[in-house]
Amino acid sequence: MHELFNGALDWQWRAHSPIKRIFHSYLSLGICIMNLCVRFRFQSLRASMLIAIFFVGFPSLCFAQKPLAWQFPKDRVIDVAMEQDTKMKLTGSASTPIRDINTLQKTDLIWTVLEGRPDGSVIVQQAIRRIVLEMKSQNANFVIDTDNDQPIAGVGEIMAKEIRPLAGSRFFVTTNKNGEILDVKIPDDSSKKANPDGLAEAGLREIAVNSSLQFPNKLVNVGDTWQKQFELDMRTFGKLNVSTTYQYLGEELVAGQTLDKIRATTAMRASDPKDNSGLKLSQQESAGTIWFNNAQGCIERCEYKQAMTMDVQQAGQQIKQIVNQDLKLKFTLRP
């Protein structure tokens, strides 16, 4: 079982580069991180989520139609804090002991609105400032902090070598008031250290477009819903079909602020793999809430819970993973 655990952990860590997970966490503009967090969680312990818990007031009865829209005035700076608390149980078969892997990852990012374009879209620089990953298991206990380059023994050092270069990476995202992602650019200096496996910009663009919180281009009423569906190609592990339904719940008074509350529910289905390696998503529940500050044109915070059971076949071994995640995000506008 020890060898199975180490093999599964190494596979999860190496199957996809950190840049793919990070993109899902923050380009998602909040809530769809869970969509791809699934992809990252099967294959790694390094997705990121946001800090953010505030007291919530009582929902108001808002029946009037209203537009929901992002606001990106030039030089606006937004601090984005992400936190993901993941508890995973891993076993090779019914007769082998269960291994517990608990991780807490925090990522701090800075969004800076650089310029507007004639078509009304804007270019936003998104920079990773800091990542802290804490892992606890029977085989490994460590903390990786990109602000601290102290050596870490064992698998922690392997992870640290991939995570630490991400700090300082920058990406340029073109978006509009609806939250639609139109383009993603990676400077050469960030690409070399954050994208070691050569993931093409086209791939990152596809991830960003499908993961963004995008509002409908119309007025919304309480109870209105809209959907986003897409498919992720996970290479030898097959494809993941993702469908997210958003529902507008109305206004809610939170710590003296009137926020718009949006419910998001995600359903995922894994298709057949291309070879004998693959995964079966036997159970999955994913739902979360976004609190959007429409007056300021920015997400205030997001909370998401996800539970899933996966059977993964890798290198001739059958691995069962039971994953429970709490995802939190907090967006703070600088004065």
282-321 residue pLDDT tens: 888 899 999 999 999 999 999 999 998 888 776 667 788 8
Q: Distance (Å, rounded) from C-alpha 76 to C-alpha 330? A: 16
Is 295 exposed, middle or buried, given 0-12, 13-18 or 19+ CB atoms closer than 10 A?
exposed
Beta strands in 16-121 (DSSP E): 77-91, 99-116
Q: Which two three-digit tokens encode residue 28?
A: 């998602």
Look at residues 288, 271, 280 and name the one whose alpha carbon lies nearest to residue 320.
280
Please answer whether residues 129 and 153 qualify as being in contact, where contact means their C-beta atoms are separated by less than 8 angstroms. no
Q: Are strands 317-333 and 170-175 parallel, antiparallel or unpaired?
A: unpaired
Q: Which two three-digit tokens encode residue 299?
A: 């997400």
Please answer whether residues 246 and 225 qualify as being in contact, where contact means their C-beta atoms are separated by less than 8 angstroms. yes
Which ranges of the chain have pLDDT less than 50? 1-63, 198-200
Question: Which residue's entry shows tokens 């070598």?
Answer: 161
Residue 88 phi/psi, 5-degree rounding, is -125, 135
Its domain, for residue 329, covers 2-333
Residue 281: the pLDDT is 77
Q: In angstroms, what CA-CA distances link 227 with 50, 132, 155, 255, 262?
A: 23, 33, 40, 30, 12
Report pLDDT digits (tens) over 164-201. Answer: 888 888 889 999 999 888 888 887 766 555 555 544 45
pTM of the model: 0.77
Residue 54: the pLDDT is 23
Please answer whether residues 278 and 312 qualify as being in contact, where contact means their C-beta atoms are separated by less than 8 angstroms. yes
Residue 264: the pLDDT is 92
Residue 20: the pLDDT is 40
The domain total for the chain is 1
Please answer whether residues 205 and 184 qualify as being in contact, where contact means their C-beta atoms are separated by less than 8 angstroms. yes
Look at residues 268, 234, 201, 40 and name the one whose alpha carbon lies nearest to residue 133.
40
Count how many residues are written for the chain. 335
Residue 176: the pLDDT is 92
Q: Distance (Å, rounded) from C-alpha 70 to C-alpha 72? A: 7
Q: What is the CATH number of the domain that holds 150?
A: 2.30.230
Q: Which two three-digit tokens encode residue 89?
A: 């149980």
